[in-house]
Chains A and B, each alone.
Chain A
Amino acid sequence: MNIQSEQTVGGLVVRVAEPRIDAAVAIRFKDRMRELIADPSQKVILDLSQVGFLDSSGLGAVVAVMKMLPPDRPLELSHLTPPVQKVFRLTRMDRVFTIHPDGADPADAA
């Protein structure tokens, strides 16, 4: 699964270069994320700009990644596409995660 990370002043930015996070890849997503977040950082920012589809298994996997991190190391989300935004909103998970609006680049914010 194509997911790359980069250390920035704002935290560890993880970019998902895949069109879907669905039931077919949810476990691989979690495994890859576990590897990447082993790299220490204050927070983890998940860039979902290339993800056009996320189902409930994908959502569960994102929640699971949040739970892998200690409470003082938040998982934040950025660049949600409209279908992905809809799933977060309908499941109220938009209240659980800090979601950076389009245009704002959390990687620049120290």
Chain B
Amino acid sequence: MQPEPGDLQLELDSSPLAVRGALTEMTAYLRGRCPEEGLAVVEIVLAEALNNIVEHAYVGGSGRITLCLRAHAGDVQCCIADHGLPMPGGAAPAGRLRLPVPGGALPEGGFGWHLIRSLSQDVDYRRVSGRNYLSLRVQAGQ
């Protein structure tokens, strides 16, 4: 997605607090551009995508993350780039849920990509010249 005037563009450090700050800016940008319920959906999707970069792509280190966002006709188009490790297998995870088994051990993780896949469309991941590019679209309502 080529940047256009009116897009939100952010650059952040790979830390949980920086992610929180970016989500706050994103929420302020989208308020008035999409309904409150859609806004909550975008926040969950971006939180999971950004936290995954912090925890996995930049595991044991740190780096920069760029985020761009465009709201158009009820859709929010998002793209995220980082310099961290590639996704395992070179592809974005399918996000299959490990269903809780009665009496068995409950999973404490593995929910992130399930939430992203459940709440967004057109997920596209590419590794180009040592960078990760993730783009996706959230139907945030009119």
Contacts and interface: CB of A to CB of B under 8 A. Distances in A.
- Do A and B make up one complex? yes
A63 B108 CA distance: 6
B93 interface: no
Nearest to B105: A67
Contacts of A23: 16, 19, 47, 51, 54-55
Chain A at the B interface: SS class: helix
Contact of B16 (A22, A63, A83): A22
A68 to B, nearest CB: 11
A66 B44 CA distance: 23
Interface of B: 16-17, 19-20, 37, 40-41, 43-44, 47-48, 51, 54-55, 97, 99-100, 105-109, 111-112, 114-115, 118-119
17 contacts: A22-B16, A22-B19, A55-B112, A56-B111, A56-B112, A67-B106, A67-B108, A82-B37, A83-B43, A83-B44, A86-B41, A86-B44, A87-B111, A91-B111, A91-B115, A92-B97, A96-B106
Contacts of A86: 40-41, 44
A91 B108 CA distance: 11
Interface of A: 20, 22-24, 53, 55-57, 59-61, 63-64, 66-67, 82-83, 86-87, 90-93, 95-96
Nearest to A62: B108
A22 B40 contact: no
B100 A96 contact: yes
5 shortest interchain CB distances as A-B pairs = A24-B16, A56-B111, A83-B40, A60-B108, A23-B16
A91 B114 CA distance: 7
A90 B118 contact: yes
Given A22-B51, A66-B106, 7 more contacts: A20-B20, A53-B47, A55-B112, A61-B108, A67-B106, A87-B115, A90-B119
